[in-house]
Amino acid sequence: SRTGRTRTAPADGAMPASGRWRVGVVSCSNWEAGFFAGYRHLEARGDLDAIIELGDYIYEYGRGEYTAAAGAVRPHDPPHEIVTLADYRIRLAQYRTDPDLQSLHAHVPWICTWDDHELANNSWEHGAENHQPHEGPFANRKAASAQAYFE
């Protein structure tokens, strides 16, 4: 694999050698809505110490269910709403094939947090807006999404 780069944080109370700490902030990466050129522009800066990802790294919807105004630019895999561990693995792997996302990950450390779409829209402790009984226990879906994300 390609060689990446990272940077350790300064000791508690110490100032970075450059006197600054510069981050890029990203969120809501919808594969079907377009390409991830914004990631390319962040990497091209060359002066970022980290990327802070505010969530919605992926979207769980089925193909064509949440797209750009003109429709899906590139289709989701698998084509259905993701629910199982295999589904979440496939969707995360698909997103990670984007060359701009790969390159930004290789060049700048990421600090990530979850929002709802890493699991399901408007999720809460025992369910989500788009989780239906025929999809099985919500706890199983929650565990599957977490396992795939942290793998």
Whether residue 106 is predicted with pLDDT greater than 90 in this model: the reply is yes
Whether residue 121 is predicted with pLDDT greater than 80 in this model: the reply is yes
For the segment 18-35, what is each residue's pLDDT rounded down to a tens digit? 778 899 999 999 999 999
For the segment 50-95, what is each residue's pLDDT rounded down to a tens digit? 999 999 999 999 999 999 889 999 999 999 999 999 999 999 999 9
Quote the CA–CA distance of 97 and 19 in Å, as a whole number: 35
Whether residue 1 is predicted with pLDDT greater than 90 in this model: the reply is no
pTM exceeding the 0.85 threshold for the entire prediction: yes
DSSP string, 83-131: -SHHHHHHHHHHHTT-HHHHHHHHHS-EEE---STTT-TT-BTTB-TT-
